[in-house]
Amino acid sequence: MTKTQTRLVAVVAVVAALAAALATGVVLTPKKNKIDKNRVYRIGYASSPPLHFQDKAGKAAGLAVGIVREAARRRGIRLEWKQAKLQGIPALRQGETDFWVLMTDLPERHAVIHLTEPYLVTEYCFLVPSEGPFQTFADLAEARIAFPNTEVGLKRLTQLLPRATPLPSGTPRLAWEAMTGGRAQAVFLDQYSAAGVLLQGGSMQQARIITAPLPRSYLALASNLATGAVADEIRDEIGVMSREGALTPLVQDWGFFPGLNIEAIDSLSSARRRERMLTAGVALLLLLLVVTIGLVVRGRRQQAKLTAAEAALRASEEYYRTLVDVLPDTIYTLGRDGELSNRLVQQGHGETEATLRELIGSPGHKANLRRVLATGEMAVAEEATPQGTFVEYRLIPIRDQRSRIFAVMGVLRDETEKKRAEGEKRELEERLRQSQRMETLGRLAGGVAHDFNNLLTVIKGYSAVVLRRLGDHPLSAPVAQIAKAGDQAADLTSQLLAFSRKQMIAPTNLSLNELVEDAGRMIERLIGENVELRIVPGADLHPVLADAGQMRQVLLNFATNARDAMPQGGKFVIETRNLQTKAGPQVLLTASDTGIGMDRETSARIFEPFFTTKGEGHGTGLGLATVYGIVHQAGGTIQVYSEPGQGTTFRVYLPAAAGTVAQAPAEIAEIDLRGSETILVTEDKHEVLQYAVEVLESYGYRVLVADSGEDALRVSAEFAGVIHLLLTDVVMGGMNGRQLAEKVCEQRTGIAVLYMSGYTDDIVVRQGLIRAETNYIAKPFTEEALARQVREILNGSGVGIKSRA
Ligand code: ADP
Ligand code: MG
């Protein structure tokens, strides 16, 4: 750079710096502070020209001194300049001075003293003899280097050139002399001091500058902690001066270094050379100052930006921290080696930590981690731990600036509860579907059975009639076959009705213990010698309200199935006991066998009518359907537990009945079934009507006939004599049996009523047809059964349902 260029650059830079300083002036609003106008503040300085030093008159001088002095004056702060015995921090800490005019801003210093915002910036450099072996920074690696003996200087130097030999020399000037005197090979200085040294006596020809690749030093006004606010006032005023352009004359002043050893310079150089040197010195200083101001302003701006960025970062971090805290997830990081980083982002909740470690060790997780590292793509997976915890996790690759994956973040969510709830829901739905299917099947079966019963009444009834009339005749045998087939068909429909819960029943308070004991012998015969029967009756068993015949049927069906499941023999256990449940007291009936058991598909369908795994002609598939219907009609539930080869257990839960066990019904008495009373028979199925009439007439009764409820009322009204009994179908087109009976009873007091039906549907049951005093005969019925029930009613001894005659 030529000197003209240097000058030009300096001028341009000054203008730019001042403009920049003015532009940012708004930021630098002075703070209001209490300044003790009566107090004289002692301010220390050292010998560090051209920044601060003692001039010939023994007064403080130098650029930093000039700036601080002027700023303090403008603020009305009185200063006493002291060339202190102690230097810098010790002077402040031991109270020798209140301020120190210029000090490098180091973070650790803030703990012990106060430092204002910096007002000067400098870089370090080396001065080396221009005619020497040192051309570049690298050449200095092992050199002997003199430096003004300051803490910062030593620190920077050893940082920069750890193998060099530092030679502490009190001042920049002494350091310079150490070099020119040959004791040192280079001088390490800040650029201000370097300029000062060169101006002071060093010749530009004698030395060259090697810049140091070090961070800049920011220089500030220092004070002890108590007077920090006053120091800040001074610094603020420096800012104001900079904006007003008031620093320019100071800097110009410094161009001439009034207090400096002018004679020395004089004697060394010619007037012309001196002028050139001074111009160069001023230019250099100006440049440094401009750079200083620019850097300070930029520094402040950057600081402001940094502070804003820091605040934003903190806010953002806080935001994510909160987010992570409220998430139910556990967030973790893994190194490339799959090791859990000790910085668990989120510990998770409760025992998740254990789950996490278990998960990380699992083969599935390891494989997924490998895949993420290999493909760089996120993985989403689920895993069930042996402890029954079910987790869902995702693995997300984390990349560095060069886009390499250096870690993997995991997000783990415990889904055990959700999974369980889902399972429960599925089970409930399955159960609902099952019961809906059973309901549909039940309606279908009930409808078929009802119609069948009307037909069977005729088939069975007439085949019996024919058989009786044929006596000893060749056709008797085939007719007997018809009768037998009719019986079997009646059995089937009866089971269907039981399943569809439309069988007419006579529930009583019964003891399952008594029932099981009664049925014991029959069951033993059924299951054969290979199978051992064990009965375990519960103590003080509650009674249940159920139909004894139906319950016996349940036991027999269980026994039959158990036998079929244990062709090689085994054990069949029937157990009863009381249970206390949320729904109230219950009685549990358990039937278990040690047979072949069944798989899930089978056990899901066993209650369906006609579902059987037994070969053609072996099973009807109606056994358990019947059981199901019976149990539900008694207000209970049934469950099956089975596994292939593990036997089968059925559990029947029945609500305990209030009250005590009813007396067993009296034995069927031997009575004369014939009679001569008048009976009104009402039935809309012509064949059934005719059969009933024939049966009753054959037993000697006088029979009035009606094919509907309306018809029956008419007949009753027209008949002058006594009608002893009304035998009526329940479900008929038009008026139903019950309505008819009520009307007839109004007309004729004392008339007995006997209902007959293929079934009684729920509505009729709920209307009260099933009351204990209701007389009822289920279709199909035999001649004798009808005759017996009619006779008993007319005798006054047969009150009660005789559905299973
Ligand atoms: P069936 O006995 O006529 O086949 P069920 O309704 O009584 O009809 O039973 C249906 C099916 O349930 C049987 O075919 C059999 O597969 C299965 N099952 C019932 N009880 C048992 C049992 N104790 N052990 C194994 N399987 C059984
Ligand atoms: Mg069976």
691 φ, ψ (degrees, to nearest 5): -60, -45
Hey, what are 751's tokens?
A: 């008339």
* Range from 79-83, 272-276, 532-536 carrying the lowest mean pLDDT: 272-276
3 state SS for 243-295: HHCCHHHHHHHHHHCCCCCHHHHHHHCCHHHHHHHHHHHHHHHHHHHHHHHHH
Mean pLDDT of the chain: 80
Least confident of 120-134, 222-236, 363-377: 120-134
pLDDT number for residue 64: 86
Residues 447-465: what's their mean pLDDT? 86
pLDDT category at 350 given cuts 50, 70, 90 is low
> What pLDDT was estimated at residue 589?
97
Rounded distance from Cα 452 to ligand 2 centre (Å): 22
pLDDT over 60 (residue 265): no
Asked if residue 507 has pLDDT above 90, the reply is no
- What's residue 506's pLDDT? 73
Let me know if 537 is exposed, middle or buried by CB neighbors in 10 A (0-12, 13-18, 19+): middle
Q: Is the CB of 217 under 6 A from ligand 1?
A: no
The lowest-confidence range among 341-350, 386-395, 476-485, 598-607 is 341-350
Sheet holding 186-190, edge to edge: 165-169, 144-148, 186-190, 124-129, 207-211
- 201-210, 280-289, 330-339: range with highest mean pLDDT: 330-339
Please determine, for residue 668, whether its predicted confidence score (pLDDT) is greater than 70: no
Residue nearest to atom 15 of ligand 1 (CA): 613
Q: Are 775 and 801 in contact (CB under 8 A)?
A: yes
Task: Decide whether any atom of ligand 1 lies within 6 Å of the 613 Cβ.
Answer: yes
- CA torsion through residues 105, 107, 113, 116, sign: positive
- Given this model, what pLDDT does residue 9 score? 54
Three-state DSSP class for residue 575:
strand
pLDDT of residue 87: 80
Closest residue by Cα to atom 21, ligand 1, is 561
How far apart are the C-alpha atoms of 87 and 725, rounded to whole Å?
Answer: 135
- Rounded-to-10 torsion of CA 166, 169, 170, 171: -100
**With a 6 A CB cut-off, is 648 part of the ligand 1 pocket?**
yes
Considering every ligand atom, which ligand is closest to the CA of 599? 1
CA distance 145 to 141: 10
Choose which residue among 555, 624, 626 to substitute to test ligand 1 binding: the one with the highest number of ligand atoms within 8 A of its C-beta: 624
- What pLDDT score does 263 carry? 34
Query: For residue 230, how far is its CA from the centre of ligand 1 (angstroms)?
Result: 101
Please provide the size of the chain in residues.
805
Residue 69: CA atoms inside 13 Å, Cβ hemisphere, count? 16
- 536 has pLDDT over 80: yes
User: Which range, of 289-303, 529-543, 555-569, 626-640, averages the lowest pLDDT?
Assistant: 289-303
CB of 646 closer than 6 A to ligand 1? no
Residue 709 pLDDT > 80:
yes
752-757 sheet: strands from edge to edge? 702-706, 678-682, 725-729, 752-757, 776-778
CA 622 to ligand 2 center in whole angstroms: 7
In angstroms, rounded to a whole number, what is the distance separating the alpha carbons of residues 587 and 510? 11
The torsion of the CA quartet 150, 151, 153, 154, rounded to 10 degrees, works out to 110
At 759-782, the pLDDT tens digits run 655 444 545 554 545 788 888 888
Position 31 pLDDT exceeds 90:
no
439 CA distance to ligand 1 middle (Å): 20
Given a cut of 80, whether residue 54 has pLDDT beyond it is yes
Residue 194 token pair: 């370097």
Q: Which residue has the higher pLDDT, 2 or 543?
A: 543
Q: State if residue 625 touches ligand 1 by the CB under 6 angstroms criterion.
A: yes
Q: Is the CB of 598 under 6 A from ligand 1?
A: yes
**What is the three-class DSSP state of 299?**
helix
Place 189 in a pLDDT band, splitting at 50, 70 and 90: confident
C-alpha 639 to ligand 2 mean position (Å): 16
End-to-end CA distance of the chain: 133
Q: What is the pLDDT of residue 306?
A: 75
3-class SS at 389? coil
Residue 438 has pLDDT above 90, yes or no: no
β-pair type (405-414, 390-399) = antiparallel
pLDDT band with cut points at 50, 70 and 90 for residue 30: very low
pLDDT digits (tens, 9 = 90+) for 728-742: 998 888 888 888 998
Q: From the CA atom positions of the chain, what is the Rg in Å?
A: 57
**Which of these, 673, 676, 683, 678, lies nearest to 756 by C-alpha position?**
683
**Ligand 1 atom with minimal separation from the 622 CA:** 6
- Reported as a pLDDT band with limits 50, 70 and 90, residue 277 is low
| 332-346, 378-392, 469-483, 770-784: which is most confident | 469-483
**Predicted pLDDT of residue 28:** 39
Predicted local confidence at residue 155, as pLDDT: 84
Give the helix/strand (H/E) hosting 361.
helix 352-361
For ligand 1, atom 17, the nearest C-alpha belongs to 606
What is the spatial distance between Cα 189 and Cα 126, in angstroms, rounded to a whole number? Answer: 6
Number of the ligand closest to the Cα of 606 = 1
Cα–Cα distance between 152 and 721 in angstroms, integer? Answer: 139
Examine the pLDDT at 378 and tell me if it is beyond 60: yes
According to the model, what pLDDT value does residue 639 have?
Answer: 94
Bigger pLDDT: 559 vs 318? 559
Element (H, E) at 176: helix 172-180
Partners of residue 399 on adjacent β-strands: 405
When pLDDT is averaged across residues 709-738 and rounded to a whole number, the result is: 90
Question: What's the pLDDT at 447?
Answer: 78
pLDDT at residue 278, as a whole number: 56
Whether the CB-CB separation of 92 and 100 falls below 8 Å is answered with: yes
Instruction: Decide: 752 in ligand 1 pocket, CB within 6 A.
Output: no
- pLDDT beyond 70 at 201: no
Query: Using alpha carbons only, what angle is made at residue 500 by residues 566 and 640, rounded to the nearest 5 degrees?
Result: 35
Average pLDDT over residues 652-678: 78
Using most ligand atoms within 8 A of CB, pick from 438, 564, 596, 639 the residue to mutate for ligand 1. 564
DSSP 346: -
Give the pLDDT of residue 421.
87
498 pocket-lining for ligand 1 (C-beta < 6 Å):
no
Pocket flag, ligand 1, residue 140 (CB < 6 Å): no
Q: For 153-176, how does the pLDDT look when each residue is reduced to its tens digit (9 = 90+)?
A: 888 888 888 898 999 988 888 888
Q: For the chain, how long is the longest CA-to-CA vector?
A: 171
pLDDT at 309: 76
**Pairing of β 584-593 and β 570-581:** antiparallel
pTM assigned to the model: 0.46
pLDDT surpasses 50 at 262: no
Nearest residue CA, atom 20 of ligand 1? 561
Q: Which two tokens stand for residue 239?
A: 């800012």
Q: Which residues neighbour 308 within 8 Å (Cβ) at sequence distance 6 or greater?
A: none
Amino acid 762: pLDDT: 47
Q: What is the pLDDT of residue 15?
A: 52
Mean pLDDT of 172-194: 83
Report how many helices (DSSP H) and strands (DSSP E) the chain contains, helices first: 23, 28
Take residue 588 and report the two structure tokens written for it. Answer: 């549990």
